[in-house]
Amino acid sequence: MNPEQLVTKWVKEAVKNIYGEGATDNLFQTQATRKEFEGDITAVIFPLLKFSKKSPEITGDQIGSYITSNYKEIESYNVVKGFLNIKLTDEYWMDVFNTIASTQDYGQLPQSGKSVMVEFSSPNTNKPLHLGHIRNNLLGWSVSNLLKANGHKVIKVNLVNDRGIHICKSMLAWQRLSGKETPQNSGIKGDHLVGKYYVAFNDMLVKEVEELISQKVPREEAEKQAPILKAAQEMLVKWEKGDREVFELWEKMNSWVYEGFEKTYKRMGVSFDKIYYESQTYLLGKELVKEGVVKGVFSEKADGSVWCDLSADGLDEKLLLRADGTSVYMTQDLGTAHQRFSEYNLDEHIYVVGNEQNYHFQVLKLLLKKLGYEWSNNLYHLSYGMVELPEGRMKSREGTVVDADDLIENMVTTARETSLELGKLDDMPKEEKEQLFEMLGLGALKYFIIKVDPKKTMLFDPKESIDFSGNTGPFIQYTHARIRSILRKAEEQKLQAKITDSKINPREREIIKLLTNFPDKIREGGIDHSPAIIANYAYDLAKEFNQYYHEVSILKEEDINIKVQRLILIDTISAVLRKAMGILGIQLPERM
């Protein structure tokens, strides 16, 4: 039971005994006491006035004196306006702290028995990953870890969009312009190479369109009639028919891309339990649609296309099968959802997908519900906002897309430059230094993106890059390194970790209070799947430690009991930091 719950229980009992009334839970509110007042936990008295029929001050005083005389954990209380501030004893806090310090893997919640699938990343194979994918990947990865910390079994999946007209565009341009350039002979990373030809295709297309327009063809017509576009469409038809030559080229170029993606994923530190390919799943869902027609949920039009009328739900009519019987995006998603739930017996399925697809997922849930699948309630769209640049949204046409690999490289370079300038790492081996810069660069990037509420559009300014001080990943990394260094020194002095005293100073109290909150933060973050809560928590803890560090000299105290006690405290802080940052996928260095 955490302190707030404890206080709630006491106050509830006090009200019952003093005023003879029981009341509903939501009338009992507690909060952490504000710093400017004395106390640890504050009970809000206003809602209880209807029982006491007295002023807030008198009511607070009555309740305060009752619980203080009945519970030994309370040291003192005071009443300010309608707030009853309760100060708990040092013994109580030390007791709480001892429990925390001796808990293995503190913050890990017990097994829930639930399994959750998280789908994220979901790239197209015609171009490299960009900044938007980074937000997606980091969210997917950290949410997965957060759910694990909540005790769920998590299956991370990636649905790769490896087929369609966009892939054919890259293939066609490669055929026409080169026909022999490979990642090996050009030294270009596979996904970037394919992306290069995708850009080349669009250049050729623009040229052809301009030419048609100069021949007095209307723009709209020209954009549809351009020969190179026709050729790409033909290629797609060939692919669908299983044309061997096209298929082999497709396999070859996709394999380049996968190799490239793999490198990026690895550097970012993300991985998947299973990768789905659309080329293998795009036919799924047709059966479901037919089933829906039989059930009368969907309807077939005269031309043979199948629709679902959602106007009663305030939405539009939605196409599910084309007149020629081929499927669309929605059809496929119906199929894959169904397949996954039956294959894995899932309790929940989370899609990490940008908010431009809110409508799609709203419809997806609704359709499955109409088909009678109860589990449609357990589909969750983790919708995140765009990452915008100072000049606005990223646009591939205007070349303002921030490439993921470039960005990561820049971050690491910046980390290297700023660290070397400070010149504190001179005695560190070269290899270890490089590892450190990698940690710092990625830590800065990851934290910067994760700490923002997912649903909000966020701004990223590449010119200013990212700070390494203030509310940042490196600040937390630095704090951790400092703690480890203190602990190393303590080891040299052969201090044994054992608590023998129960005296704590105010700052230590604050830290223990923060530590007490950690499981709640995990739980909170698990419910709305937001790692941002964990990120901000870790920052608060690190900051609190730094202030503590400035106030007391951890190793210089004469009294060995105090020394040792502080060591255990900061050791616990570093353990919690590791757990929190582990959830976010941010590594913490031992020294820096």
Q: Which two tokens stand for residue 61?
A: 């005083």
Minimum distance, C-beta of residue 130 to RNA, in the bound complex (Å): 15
Alpha carbons 370 and 208: distance in angstroms, whole number: 47
Q: By CB under 7 A, is residue 225 in contact with RNA?
A: no
Q: By CB under 7 A, is residue 524 in contact with RNA?
A: yes
Minimum distance, C-beta of residue 286 to RNA, in the bound complex (Å): 13
Q: Which one among 102, 358, 396, 493 touches RNA, defined by CB under 7 A?
A: 358
Q: By CB under 7 A, is residue 398 in contact with RNA?
A: no
Q: By CB under 7 A, is residue 533 in contact with RNA?
A: yes
How buried is 223 (Cβ within 10 angstroms: 0-12 exposed, 13-18 middle, 19+ buried)?
Answer: middle
The sign of the CA dihedral 350, 355, 361, 366 is positive
Q: By CB under 7 A, is residue 438 in contact with RNA?
A: no
Phi, psi of 67 (to 5 degrees): -70, -30
Q: By CB under 7 A, is residue 237 in contact with RNA?
A: no
Minimum distance, C-beta of residue 311 to RNA, in the bound complex (Å): 10
Q: Which one among 471, 502, 505, 561 touches RNA, defined by CB under 7 A?
A: 471
Q: Which residues contact 588 (CB under 8 A, 6 or more apart)?
A: 439, 476, 477, 480, 481, 574, 577, 578, 581
Contact segment (CB under 7 A) with RNA among 245-253, 321-329, 365-373, 555-563 equals: 321-329
Q: Which two tokens stand for residue 300?
A: 């077939």
Written as one string, the DSSP assignment of 230-278 is: HHHHHHHHHHHHT-HHHHHHHHHHHHHHHHHHHHHHHHHT---SEEEEH
Q: Which one among 302, 550, 556, 558 touches RNA, defined by CB under 7 A?
A: 550
Task: Please name the residue that has the structure tokens 């949204």.
Answer: 393
Q: By CB under 7 A, is residue 322 in contact with RNA?
A: yes
Q: Which amino acid is residue 518, in one-letter code?
A: F
Contact segment (CB under 7 A) with RNA among 15-23, 371-379, 399-407, 445-453 equals: 445-453
Q: By CB under 7 A, is residue 467 in contact with RNA?
A: yes
What is the DSSP secondary structure assignment for residue 108, as one 8-state letter?
Answer: P
Q: Which amino acid is residue 270, in one-letter code?
A: V
Q: By CB under 7 A, is residue 452 in contact with RNA?
A: yes
Contact segment (CB under 7 A) with RNA among 231-239, 252-260, 385-393, 504-512 equals: 385-393
- For RNA, what does the binding mask look like between residues 119 and 148, x meaning CB under 7 A? -----x------------------------
Q: Rounded to a whole number, what is the distance in angstroms from the first to the last CA of the chain?
A: 38
Q: Which one among 5, 99, 165, 342 touches RNA, defined by CB under 7 A?
A: 165
For RNA (CB under 7 A), the number of binding residues is: 62
Q: By CB under 7 A, is residue 316 in contact with RNA?
A: yes
Which CB sits closer to RNA, 331 or 565?
331
Written as one string, the DSSP assignment of 203-231 is: HHHHHHHHHHHHTT--HHHHHHH-HHHHH
Q: By CB under 7 A, is residue 224 in contact with RNA?
A: no
Q: Which residues contact 311 (CB under 8 A, 6 or more apart)?
A: 317
DSSP 3-state percent helix, strand, coil across the chain (nearest 5)? 60, 10, 30
Catalog residues that contact RNA under the rule CB under 7 A: 29, 31, 33-34, 36-37, 42, 44, 46-47, 80-83, 85, 124, 161, 164-165, 278, 282, 303, 305, 314, 316, 319, 322-324, 328-329, 332, 355-360, 385-386, 393, 421, 451-453, 455-459, 467, 469-472, 524, 532-533, 536, 539, 543, 550
